[in-house]
Amino acid sequence: MVRTICNFSCFQICFCQCLGYKKCHEYIALLKSGQLKGQPGCTDEETLEALILRELSSIRDKAGKACVENLSKHNAPLTMAVCGSKGSFINISQMIACVGQQAISGHRPPDGFDKRCLPHFEKLQMTPEAKGFVENSFFSGLTPTEFFFHTMGGREGLVDTAVKTAETGYMQRRLVKCLEVSFTWMT
């Protein structure tokens, strides 16, 4: 049986996820066997994280592309993304296909709770689901662990927005103060 969402098959989405998971497990096996070559200036573990992050990020993009190709041209979110009024293709992908890898400061969530991201996973686990990959979409609903990972990334976005607002406000204040001595004459 093939699951359908919004009148199209999810086979392509599941296929992309399976291939991505398989590649991630291959990278992990290469690291454990000592065959993973580190990138210049990186440890083997940092290389593994970079490879996995790149692979998992591409899953969301491929799944999103499959969704957009199969959506009706009359789909409201698609229309808004195409005309540029609101949202993007990534938003559509997250609504229908999968939310994707959650990144914190550009990396997968770090092990912070006794050698694991969350207490729901085994120690030293490097699998996609244990390190912040959200395979469900907002339409199908997130599991509790996926929700935790998503809130980690969302919190970082909120903090970044607040800090940028303060920084730009301060820059504007300094600029206005500097320009107070400048004036123009109208003749």
- Does any domain span residue 185? no
Q: How many domains, the chain?
A: 1
Host domain of residue 41: 4-179
Among residues 23, 22, 2, the alpha carbon closest in space to that of 12 is found at 2
Q: What is the pLDDT along the chain (187 residues), one digit of tens a residue?
A: 344 454 445 555 666 677 888 888 899 899 889 898 888 888 888 899 899 988 888 888 888 788 788 888 898 988 898 898 888 888 888 888 889 899 888 888 888 878 898 888 999 888 889 999 998 999 999 999 999 999 988 888 888 888 888 888 888 888 888 888 777 667 6
Q: In CATH, what number is assigned to the domain containing residue 22? A: 1.10.132.30
24 and 18 in contact (C-beta within 8 Å)? no
Closest Cα partner for 65 from 118, 30, 16?
16
What is the structure's pLDDT at 149?
92
Contacting residues for 99 by C-beta, under 8 A, at least 6 apart: 60, 134, 135, 136, 137, 138, 142, 146, 150
19 near 154, Cβ under 8 Å? no
Residue 2: its pLDDT value, please?
43
- pLDDT value for 1: 39
Amino acid at position 26, single letter: E
The answer to whether position 101 is within a domain reads yes
Does any domain span residue 187? no
Please check whether residue 186 lies inside any domain of the structure. Answer: no
Which three-class secondary structure state does DSSP give residue 60?
Answer: helix
pTM of structure = 0.72
The Cα 26–Cα 29 span in angstroms is 5
